């Protein structure tokens, strides 16, 4: 049976898919088997707020085929305003593992794009250890800058020639979302912007305990791990998300009075 595209709902200007791990991974693997150019991003509060502040980024993100609610606050907001009935978020790290498990059953080819040489080596080793039927058909270390037109053309050529079914993109938000959006229709594969999944599955970062994840406190766990890098992000983006939620709730309440 052909996997269906899920319904979408607009949350603060981003069109989120109402989906879960199984449905999303089934859709991605089906597109991958057929080598359809198809994009996914697992977008949490940080990425959402960045797109609210930057209209160009917002347009790029909304070009991506499947935007899944990575983060409990996103899920809560979708359930609150749309009665979406989402039982869980769709976290990029966990979704990556769902996709790899199904890709392993089909012997698909995976290309890793982004991050550092050390992280890519660890991630590649862990994938090959856990999923022996997957072929890692290419690895690209991030330049940590925009590619020149010539470099980008060469990257596209290499990925397409590798026969990749799925490209896992770990360039950090929002660079990875821009990259996925800009390469739709150019790369004949599923492009997954999954960010921190590279570091988590390489073993560089520990994941928050389940109770913290379930209660929307993963940001606090990550902040403790990387305070210098993340404190500004969480201070401003989390605060602005709360502001948008409250403003939207007030407008929604006035509308139905």
Kindly list the averaged pLDDT for each block of 10 residues, start to end, along the chain of length 257: 88 98 98 97 96 97 98 95 96 96 98 96 96 98 96 98 98 96 98 89 72 69 68 78 93 66
**What pLDDT, on the 0 to 100 scale, is given for residue 209?**
72
* C-alpha pair distances (Å), 139 with each of 110, 113, 117, 169: 9, 6, 9, 10
**Residue tagged 């605060």 (tokens):** 239
Question: Per residue in 41-59, pLDDT tens?
Answer: 999 999 999 999 999 999 9
Q: Which tokens hold the place of 120?
A: 């890519």
Q: What whole-number distance in Å separates Cα of residue 53 and Cα of residue 239?
A: 13
* C-alpha pair distances (Å), 38 with each of 128, 164, 186, 190: 24, 13, 10, 5
Distance of CA 127 to the CA centre of its chain: 18
- Neighbour-count burial for 37-61, b at 16+ CB within 10 Å, e otherwise: bbbbbbbbbbbbbbbbeeeebbebb
**What pLDDT, on the 0 to 100 scale, is given for residue 143?**
96
Q: What whole-number distance in Å separates Cα of residue 134 and Cα of residue 130?
A: 9
**What pLDDT, on the 0 to 100 scale, is given for residue 197?**
86
133: left (phi over 0), alpha (psi -120 to 50) or beta: alpha
**What pLDDT, on the 0 to 100 scale, is given for residue 216?**
67
* C-alpha pair distances (Å), 188 with each of 105, 128, 134, 162: 21, 23, 18, 10
114: number of CA atoms within 13 Å, CB side?
25
**What pLDDT, on the 0 to 100 scale, is given for residue 201?**
83
Task: With beta carbons less than 8 A apart as the criterion, state whether 24 and 101 touch.
Answer: no
Kindly list the domain boundaries of the chain, sorted by start residue.
8-210
Question: Per residue in 210-238, pLDDT tens?
Answer: 776 776 677 666 666 777 776 666 678 88
């Amino acid at each position: 049976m052909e996997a269906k595209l899920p319904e979408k709902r607009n949350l603060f200007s981003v069109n989120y898919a109402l989906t879960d791990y199984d449905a999303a991974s089934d859709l991605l693997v089906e597109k991958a088997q057929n080598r359809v150019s198809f994009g996914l991003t697992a977008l949490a509060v940080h990425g959402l707020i960045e797109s609210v502040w930057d209209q160009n980024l917002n347009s790029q993100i909304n070009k991506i085929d499947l935007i899944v609610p990575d983060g409990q606050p996103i899920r809560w907001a979708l359930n609150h305003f749309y009665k979406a009935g989402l039982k869980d978020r769709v976290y990029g790290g966990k979704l990556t593992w769902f996709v790899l498990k199904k890709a392993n059953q089909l012997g698909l080819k995976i290309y890793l794009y982004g991050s550092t040489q050390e992280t890519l080596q660890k991630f590649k080793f862990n994938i090959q250890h856990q999923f022996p039927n997957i072929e890692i058909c290419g690895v690209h270390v991030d330049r940590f800058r925009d590619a020149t037109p010539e470099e980008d053309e060469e990257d596209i050529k290499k990925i397409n020639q590798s026969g990749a079914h799925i490209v896992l993109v770990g360039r950090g938000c929002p660079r990875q979302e821009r990259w996925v959006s800009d390469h739709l229709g150019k790369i004949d594969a599923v492009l997954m912007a999954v960010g921190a999944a590279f570091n988590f599955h390489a073993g560089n970062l520990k994941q928050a305990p389940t109770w913290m994840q379930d209660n929307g406190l993963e940001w606090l766990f990550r902040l403790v791990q990387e305070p210098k890098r993340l404190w500004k992000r969480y201070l401003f983006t989390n605060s602005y998300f709360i502001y948008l939620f409250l403003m939207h709730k007030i407008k929604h309440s006035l509308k139905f009075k």
